[in-house]
Amino acid sequence: MSTLDMIREYGHEEVYFVNNEKAGLKAIIAVHSTKLGPALGGCRLWPYQNEEEALFDVLRLSRGMSFKNAAAGLPLGGGKGVIIADPSQKTDALFEAFGEAVEKLGGRYLTAEDVNTDTHDADIMLRTTSHVVGRADVSGDPSPMTAIGVFDGIRATAKFVYGTDELKGMKIAVQGLGKVGLDVAEQLHAAGAELIVCNRSNRKVMEKVVGEYGAKEVAMDEIYGVDCDIFAPCALGAIVNYETIPQFKCKAIAGAANNQILDDACGVALKQRGIAYAPDFIINGGGVINAGQEAFTTYDKEKVLAQVHNIYNTVYGILEESKASGEPEGVIAQRFAENRIRNGL
Ligand code: NAD
């Protein structure tokens, strides 16, 4: 699909190109929907080959944020910013200029950190715009809340598939031990689960998980085929694909990674194999619930936690509906979000 067709089909409200020669900034901001509130989505910095590639990414990601925010029950729409640059080219002037562009949108787009940007960069944007959430001194790092929601989503999936959300003795394979994956592994271990893990980097973390939690380490390409009850992808996207689907021995997939399913056909194939799937943008919504709260009320950790724990119910409801209708869980989740955008929360 061409990017113009995407704009037509996805129904973006605004797409804003920024060329600030003085600051060396080339960026695109896409406001997909403000029906539920200001469009929230982070600012990604990436060495895109050209504007077309950046536009494709920002259109797709901004629509994804509309679904994620609506499904999380936030009075927020969906948007995204992308800066076309190499991470080595980060300067204060770049983020100040991006902040100026955000400011011009008058609060219709709220930005935050994302891939290759961090709270330091967000602080620089604050010099030129107030429309920034996920501030280090307010809601802070979203990863711990994401991990809490993922753990709840794993429990809901276990309840649906195995009839219990007690994870004691359950074999759970965790792919990726980064900010979210390590935290999820800790919670799973505390709940008595048996862990099978792999990670691309950081031997220290692996030694801790193997040494302290008794986890079994496997090679990165072996994780898909291990004998386990639940596979928890916490590293990469597109890991449910034509190569991996035949390998899975688990009855359920529930983890933090974004965009887990390669394409619609893989969603159908997974369903046909009888493997339950906790939709990624629902189960990993804890971080956006945490940061998003800054946008519409005073940050209150207890209220955030209550909303994050509700991920259990949302995941369980989607699994039930998918069983009843026979449609893949991802399809049900998208419809759930679209209905909320159309009819309100
Ligand atoms: P991270 O960069 O801290 O961790 C990713 C980990 O995955 C790293 O330890 C890396 O070594 C490992 N890894 C990379 N490729 C691997 C492979 N092939 N096999 C095994 N391990 C591999 O990232 P994170 O913040 O923990 O996020 C993890 C996933 O969750 C990402 O897909 C991210 O988009 C998604 N997510 C994160 C948040 C959040 O709050 N951090 C929120 C929503 C979604």
The mean pLDDT of 191-202, rounded to a whole number, is: 96
DSSP per-residue codes, 295-329 = HHS---HHHHHHHHHTHHHHHHHHHHHHHHH---H
238 in the same domain as 114: no
Nearby residues of 164 by Cβ (< 8 Å), 6 or more positions away: 158
326 in the same domain as 209: yes
For a ligand 1 pocket test, name from 68, 199, 223 the mutation site with the most ligand atoms within 8 angstroms of its C-beta. Answer: 199
119 in the same domain as 147: no
324 in the same domain as 187: yes
| CATH code of residue 209 | 3.40.50.720
Q: Does the C-beta of 178 come closer than 6 Å to ligand 1? A: yes
For a ligand 1 pocket test, name from 67, 222, 234 the mutation site with the most ligand atoms within 8 angstroms of its C-beta. Answer: 234
46-95 tens-digit pLDDT: 999 999 999 999 999 999 999 999 999 999 999 999 999 999 999 999 99
Catalytic residues: 80
Say what the pTM is.
0.94
**165 has a pLDDT exceeding 90:** yes
CA of 256 to the centre of ligand 1 (A): 8
CA of 84 to the centre of ligand 1 (A): 22
Q: Does the C-beta of 146 come closer than 6 Å to ligand 1? A: yes
DSSP per-residue codes, 165-182 = ---TT-EEEEE--SHHHH
Is 291 a domain residue?
Answer: no
CA of 273: how far to CAs of 248, 259, 283, 320, in Å? 9, 20, 21, 17
209-230 tens-digit pLDDT: 999 999 999 999 999 999 999 9
List the residue whose alpha carbon is closest to atom 20 of ligand 1.
199
Average model confidence (pLDDT) for the chain?
Answer: 97
Helix or strand or coil: residue 108? coil
Distance CA 60, CA 148 (A): 26
Is 331 a domain residue?
Answer: yes
211 in the same domain as 93: no
179 in the same domain as 46: no
191 in the same domain as 334: yes
Residue 163 belongs to what H/E stretch? none
**281 has a pLDDT exceeding 90:** yes
What are phi and psi for residue 56, nearest 5 degrees?
-55, -45
CA of 206 to the centre of ligand 1 (A): 14
Scanning the structure block, which residue is given the tokens 């694909």?
241
* pLDDT over 70 percentage in the chain: 100
236 in the same domain as 118: no
110-143 tens-digit pLDDT: 999 999 999 899 999 999 999 999 998 999 889 9
Task: Note down the domain range covering 99.
Answer: 3-63+78-125
Token duo for residue 106: 């008058």
pLDDT confidence of residue 119: 87
Q: Does the C-beta of 179 come closer than 6 Å to ligand 1? A: yes
CA of 175 to the centre of ligand 1 (A): 9
CA of 258 to the centre of ligand 1 (A): 9
36-49 tens-digit pLDDT: 999 999 999 999 99
114 in the same domain as 158: no
174: nearest Cα among 199, 138, 144, 137: 199
**10 has a pLDDT exceeding 90:** yes
* pLDDT over 90 percentage in the chain: 97
The sheet with strand 276-277 has its strands ordered as 216-217, 194-198, 171-175, 230-233, 252-253, 276-277
CA of 92: how far to CAs of 1, 96, 118, in Å? 36, 6, 13
Q: How many domains does the chain have?
A: 2
For a ligand 1 pocket test, name from 284, 289, 311 the mutation site with the most ligand atoms within 8 angstroms of its C-beta. Answer: 284
pLDDT confidence of residue 24: 96
Is 302 a domain residue?
Answer: no
316 in the same domain as 190: yes
257-268 tens-digit pLDDT: 999 999 999 999
